[in-house]
Amino acid sequence: MIRIDLRRKKAKNHKGKYSINAMERLQLEMKKIVNCKAWPAGPGEYEVKEKKSSFQLYMGKHSCSCRKWDMSGIPCRHALTVIIDKKLNPKNYISSWYLTSRWRNEYSAYIDAVRGCNFWRKSGETELLLPPKPEGRKRIPKRIKERNESPQKKKSKGKEKELKLSRKKRIIHCGICGGEGHNTRKCQFFGPAPYRRPNKVKESATVGSSSQPTQSQVID
C-alpha cells in the first residue's frame, strides 16, 4: 500500500514524456555506439558492424538481430547508430508502453485502508487454540551401522550395552608405497606405485598339465 502510494507520487511529479527507467537505459545504450558503424542495404534495412560482429537492422519493424530492441522496446546501440547518422530523435523510436501517461495510469488504482481487528464482528464460535508445544529436547535417531561393523558389548547391571569401535590401535597403510602410519595424501613417494607382492600367494595350477619335469629341471 505504501509502495504504490510512493510510486504514484513519483509518476505524478515526473515531467518527461517517457519513464525514468526507459531514459536511463537509452542513455546507457548511447554510450556504446562508438564501436558501431552502419551501411544501408535496402529500404529500411541496414547492416551494422560492431568490432568483428555484424547485425541486421530493420527500422520499420523495430527489429535487430541482437534481439535487444525486439524484447525491450528500447532502441539498441545498433539502431541508435542509424538514428544518430540520420539526425533523428531517438525518443520517437521508444515503445509507447514506456510513456509517462501509462506509468501514471498503472498506479492510479490503490489499496483501501483496513480497520483493526478490534472492529471485527464476533461470530460467537469457539476460539481455536494453538496445539501444545512438545516438552524436552528432540530425540536424535541413532546412526545406522554398516555391514562390516561389529560393536563390542558391555554388560552393566544385567543389560548388554553396545559400544563404539575404537580406532586407536588401528594401523593405516599407504596405498602407494605400502608403508605404515600414513596414507596416500602424506606419502613422500612420487611416481607410479611400485609392484607389491600379495600377502597370500595362490598356487597356479593349470588344468591338464603333465607331471613330467620340464627341460630346465632336467638340466639342473
Q: Mind listing the pLDDT tens digit for each residue in 96-127? A: 999 999 999 999 888 888 899 889 888 888 88
Q: How high is the pLDDT of residue 138?
A: 80
**Number of other residues whose CB lies within 10 A of the CB of residue 46:** 20
Contact 130, 28 (CB under 8 A): no
Nearest to 12 by CA among 112, 110, 114, 111: 110
Per the DSSP assignment, residues forming a β-bridge with 162 are 153
Q: What is the pTM of this model?
A: 0.51
Q: Name the DSSP letter for residue 172.
A: -
Contact 106, 97 (CB under 8 A): no
Which segments of the chain have a pLDDT < 50?
A: 204-211, 216-220
Q: Locate cell 520499420: which residue?
A: 60
In angstroms, rounded to a whole number, what is the distance separating the alpha carbons of residues 177 and 183? 9
Q: How high is the pLDDT of residue 206?
A: 46
Q: Locate cell 560393536: which residue?
A: 151
Contact 179, 194 (CB under 8 A): no
Of all helices (H) and strands (E), which one includes residue 86?
Answer: none
Q: How far is CA 172 from its chain centroid?
A: 40
Output the CA angle 180-182-184, nearest 5 degrees: 115
Residues 6 or more apart in contact with residue 102 via CB below 8 angstroms: 96
In angstroms, rounded to a whole number, what is the distance separating the alpha carbons of residues 69 and 61? 10
